[in-house]
Structure 1
């Protein structure tokens, strides 16, 4: 991992479990879906280990010809649960405020459906911080594909930020976020309590790792 980087001109964030704690809602909605589809339920640990891609990329392989029925069941359950259980992660609001006041371009690249992503950002009052919120289905292809990053940077939207490159930091909690950053040529920043595993490092090592958002905020203040 790189020891130091220059201050970013733009910061893109994953959403779920990077800025907000979503595991409980995702887990509950998935198990409602599994029950309806006669699939065995997952444990919470299995959910956290397996959920990475968007539904349009993962459900066809999981449910075959019935994947659209499963998708409807999942989103019906998620829509009932997500706002009342939405929990910002410690330090998230402060970090977004710090970056916005410093004039950084801010965006989100999330494999949560764009409609739900924007509802959640508005519910938290964070929509004012972001130049662009790009959720699943908003771009031609979802994370980890380059198109999703380009959309979050405003390409073709009239809200253009800097082009994807080393001056753009991509902040996330999972291996898919690091891969996405690499696919777009951005700096990959891992934020979670656990350091990257050997398996993750072999696929795509992050440039920097922080145990939490407050540590990332302090690092940025020092740059």
Structure 2
């Protein structure tokens, strides 16, 4: 049986306004110029635990704590569902398709968001940054999550759904086909480079692709 694993931010929920504000909150407090949206998009290919040591050096831990304090204070009240997300998950659940989540959001924060929405019922596993030894863009967290899933799907039967280069890279390294949700100025270049199995522009389109392929 096919299984579908998802990214979280930008795929099922819209956390961009919150995370953009959170990272710039840290930069302001660390005396660095604020990121533009373009600079932010380039930076978040990596998880915070891998990115922040490169930016803040010996102050990385302090910066991470500042970021997570801001996120924890605001993330549940600012959590926005992307249109069609619930419908896609409910459709897959009705068809008994195994599902999982692999995100670069810190693991404990991801779990709180999933459980706040009551969506733990959809996922056999939901892992954030730090759950696996490495984070996306490595393929390791996808393989790690598959190994933890109660249905133990074969990697060849797992479809990964994401919206960033980090997702495309992780799926390619893990060896599973990817459905790419196209948005952002670099989307066409990423499609050309990674050649995803399918490209969609919305979760409504994603549902149609899944209906045809599962």
TM-score by length of 2: 0.93
Q: Structure 2 unaligned segments of length 5 or more: list them.
A: none
Distance 1:137 1:221, change over 3 A: same
How far apart are the structure 1 equivalents of 2:88 and 2:149?
A: 25
More helix by share: 2
Q: How does 1:91-106 map to 2 (within 5 A)?
A: 91-106=84-99
The partner residue of 1:126 within 116, 119, 124 is 119
Deviation track 1:132-188 (CA, whole Å, cap 9, x = no partner) reads 0010000111112232012221x1x472421222x2111000111111111011001
How far apart are the structure 1 equivalents of 2:210 and 2:192?
A: 27
Distance 1:85 1:109, change over 3 A: same
Cα deviation, residue 24, structure 1: 0.6
How far apart are the structure 2 equivalents of 1:185 and 1:79?
A: 34
The partner residue of 1:88 within 81, 90, 110 is 81
How far apart are the structure 2 equivalents of 1:175 and 1:193?
A: 11
2:211 aligned with 1:221: yes
How far apart are the structure 1 equivalents of 2:154 and 2:139?
A: 12
How far apart are the structure 2 equivalents of 1:158 and 1:174?
A: 23
Cα contact 1:105–1:161 (8 A) shared by 2: no
The partner residue of 1:180 within 160, 170, 189 is 170
Q: Which residue of 2 aligns with 1:33?
A: 26
Cα deviation, residue 42, structure 1: 1.1
Q: Structure 1 unaligned segments of length 5 or more: list them.
A: 1-7
2:178 aligned with 1:164: no
Deviation track 1:180-215 (CA, whole Å, cap 9, x = no partner) reads 1110110011013458322x2454221110000111
| Number of aligned residue pairs | 212
How far apart are the structure 2 equivalents of 1:152 and 1:99?
A: 18
How far apart are the structure 2 equivalents of 1:49 and 1:80?
A: 25
